[in-house]
Chain A
Amino acid sequence: MKSPWIFHLNTGSCNGCDIEIVAAFTPRYDLERFGCLLVGSPRHADVLLVTGPVTRQMLPRLIRVYEQIPEPKVVVAVGTCASSGSPFLGSEMVEGPVDRIIPVDAYIVGCPPRPEAIARGIIMAVMSKFR
């Protein structure tokens, strides 16, 4: 795949990862030079970036967004809370981590991970799935 299009879903993240994802697309890191594009609809996307520990209200929406992405697709869990659920584990409202609900291809840990790490995670996930 030459240009993975990316859809980002916030499932209860603190905004930290979300901002770092956007920062990865702005001039300093510029993921768009790899052909990545942040798209507004899951139906256009190849890669799903999930941030947050999956709250109860976002659970059905996560499944719906995942189903809307056409095959083949890659799911990347961004951030520690999406990867492991910590530090929100034990909360009544948290259903995650993400891999309990949908299959995940790559985990990017860090709270929040740096834009470089996000770029590397996306590239590695795409390379492993599509080559």
Chain B
Amino acid sequence: MVVKRSTERTEKEVEYTRLRIPFGPVHPALKEPVLLRISVRGEEIIDVDMTLGHVHRGIESLAEGRNLIQTLYLIERICGICSHSHTTCFIQALEEIGSIIPSERALYLRTLIFEMERIHSHLLLLGVMAYEIGFDTLFMFTWHVREKILDLFEKITGNRIHHAMNTIGGVRWDLTSQMAGEVKAYMREIEKSTKYIHSAFTDGTVEKRICNLGVLDYNDAIKLCVVGPTARGSGVNIDVRKDHPYAAYDELKGDFSVITRKDGDVYARTEVRIFEVFESINIIKAILDRLPNGSIRPEENVFRIMKRIPEGEAVSLVEAPRGELLYFVKTDGKGGLIRLKVRTPTFSNLLSLKRMLVGCEIADIPVIVASIDPCLSCTNRVTIINQEKGKSKVIDMDSLRRMVRRKWMRR
């Protein structure tokens, strides 16, 4: 009898203390809008649901009404962080349909920009990671290092963010020997700075904050089909650069290794990204040593090439900084598109958030969400709604961050 009464009380307690927290969709700093509905019992997260589509601009349907060159510049605007990955993936599909083989030098230059973009993206995330755990000094330092990569982009392509490097059959800008020397010098500096960032991340306090947090084990990673550094942090050895080499990666296979970690926690994912920066620097050094001579693009007018691309379809894969990026392209043979389908890596990774967040505390949300490097942009306000009493309480991201910091101090 006594036992029965006690269980009744617990059930009632659970009902009363279950809260739903909408997380997002407005945030001033970095992430695109996403709305996470988080149910909590006390501090513990028990369920996660999400709403997407706040940045849905209808790019796929817009592309179907434009010609291939216009589409090339449109799809670059899908993402401001991995714009080169998107254009490379699209151009590869077009080149396969039109059986156009770019020159060796063009492929190497594509790979060079690709790896520079990976460094820029990973440094950006490491800075955000540092910011989310309350380490503002490291955030500022990391973003200061990142400016060097942006300088290089500007020197090579003329743009800091949307590089507009790719064109059908090659690339648009060449690398002079003087610039190659500069890239090498910058790489040495970035390597030194990244070593410093790594030593800051191996500091005991940071380790304590992000170790054993948001764990995604190997089997779950396989089941949820996560990709990129999120998968590699859980010990899944996948990397499109090794598995299905594209651009110049076939010849550069020996110059880099796939970084994996077994723990599957936030620390493992962060560490994978730090070491991938070193691997990218190795690839860039190899590219600069072995850069073949030749033309970078066909001499012919690009519109004439575009008109010659026949009707056909192709699937293309690249390893974007966040993981596997997939394009399906179907052309109409008159310089236009019938269908364009984009599957971005964050879309695959987002679902794993549920597995990572359940069991953690409210104060861990920003850290875990940042750890999958979501390509999302506005996640600032949090509303805590007590459904039972019908009261709601709005917490902004700053107070949430204060909670994060308090938790950090406690440890």
A-side interface residues toward B, CB under 8 Å? 6-10, 12-20, 22-23, 26-28, 38-41, 52-53, 55-58, 61, 65, 81, 87-88, 90-94, 111-112, 114
Give CA–CA (A38, B58) in the complex, Å: 30
User: Smallest CB–CB gap between B128 and chain A, Å?
Assistant: 9
Q: Which of B71-79, B270-278, B304-312 contacts A (4 or more CB under 8 A)?
A: B71-79
Most B CB within 10 A of own CB, among A12, A40, A92: A40
Choose one: B55, B56, B124; the contact of A13 (CB below 8 Å).
B55
Give CA–CA (A38, B141) in the complex, Å: 18
Q: Does B143 have its Cβ within 8 Å of any Cβ on chain A? A: yes
User: Smallest CB–CB gap between A2 and chain B, Å?
Assistant: 21
Q: Which residues of A contact B33 (CB under 8 A)?
A: 10, 57-58
Q: Which residues of A contact B30 (CB under 8 A)?
A: 15, 18-19, 22
Q: Does B160 have its Cβ within 8 Å of any Cβ on chain A? A: yes
Choose one: A10, A19, A28, A41; the contact of B124 (CB below 8 Å).
A19
Q: Which residues of B contact A88 (CB under 8 A)?
A: 57-59, 62, 77
Give CA–CA (A19, B162) in the complex, Å: 12
Known: A19-B81, A57-B54. A27 touches B28 (CB 8 A): no
Known: A18-B30, A91-B61. A26 touches B73 (CB 8 A): no
A26 engages B140 (CB within 8 Å): yes
Determine the main DSSP class of A at the interface with B: loop
Choose one: B26, B53, B57, B147; the contact of A65 (CB below 8 Å).
B26
Give CA–CA (A15, B336) in the complex, Å: 27
Please name the residue on chain A nearest to B151 by beta carbon: A28
Known: A38-B29, A40-B397. A58 touches B54 (CB 8 A): yes
Give CA–CA (A59, B144) in the complex, Å: 34
List CB contacts (< 8 Å) of B51-100 with chain A: 53-59, 61-62, 65, 70, 73-74, 77-81, 83
5 A–B contacts from the bound complex (CB under 8 Å): A14-B83, A27-B140, A38-B29, A57-B54, A90-B62
User: Smallest CB–CB gap between A12 and chain B, Å?
Assistant: 4
Please name the residue on chain A nearest to B124 by beta carbon: A19
B56 engages A55 (CB within 8 Å): yes
Q: Which of B8-16, B101-109, B171-179, B376-384 contacts A (4 or more CB under 8 A)?
A: B376-384
Choose one: A9, A14, A90; the contact of B28 (CB below 8 Å).
A9
B74 engages A18 (CB within 8 Å): no
User: Smallest CB–CB gap between B404 and chain A, Å?
Assistant: 13
Choose one: A10, A19, A56, A87; the contact of B74 (CB below 8 Å).
A87
Q: Which residues of B contact A20 (CB under 8 A)?
A: 160-161
A90 engages B55 (CB within 8 Å): no
Choose one: B26, B54, B162, B377; the contact of A112 (CB below 8 Å).
B162
Interface size class of B (residues with CB under 8 A): 35 or more
Choose one: A18, A27, A87; the contact of B77 (CB below 8 Å).
A87
Beyond the given pairs A14-B79, A15-B30, A55-B54, 18 more chain A to chain B contacts, judged by CB atoms under 8 angstroms and listed by A's residue number, are A12-B56, A15-B81, A16-B80, A17-B80, A18-B377, A22-B30, A26-B143, A26-B147, A27-B144, A38-B28, A40-B397, A55-B55, A57-B33, A61-B25, A88-B57, A88-B77, A91-B62, A94-B57
Most A CB within 10 A of own CB, among B70, B74, B378, B396: B378
Please name the residue on chain A nearest to B380 by beta carbon: A40
Q: Which residues of B contact A93 (CB under 8 A)?
A: 56-58
Most B CB within 10 A of own CB, among A6, A19, A57, A88: A19
Q: Which residues of A contact B61 (CB under 8 A)?
A: 91-92
A52 engages B55 (CB within 8 Å): yes
Known: A19-B30, A27-B140, A40-B28. A10 touches B55 (CB 8 A): yes
Give CA–CA (A11, B113) in the complex, Å: 28
Q: Which residues of B contact A9 (CB under 8 A)?
A: 26, 28, 378
What 1/0 mask marks residues of chain B from 155 to 183 whose CB sits below 8 Å from any chain A CB? 00000111000000000000000000000
A111 engages B124 (CB within 8 Å): no
A23 engages B147 (CB within 8 Å): yes
Q: Which residues of A contact B398 (CB under 8 A)?
A: 39-41
A15 engages B377 (CB within 8 Å): yes
Give CA–CA (A8, B53) in the complex, Å: 19
Q: Does B32 have its Cβ within 8 Å of any Cβ on chain A? A: yes
User: Smallest CB–CB gap between B144 and chain A, Å?
Assistant: 5
B57 engages A53 (CB within 8 Å): yes
Q: Does B210 have its Cβ within 8 Å of any Cβ on chain A? A: no
Q: Does B375 have its Cβ within 8 Å of any Cβ on chain A? A: yes
Give CA–CA (A27, B139) in the complex, Å: 10
Give CA–CA (A104, B55) in the complex, Å: 21
A111 engages B26 (CB within 8 Å): no
Give CA–CA (A81, B74) in the complex, Å: 12
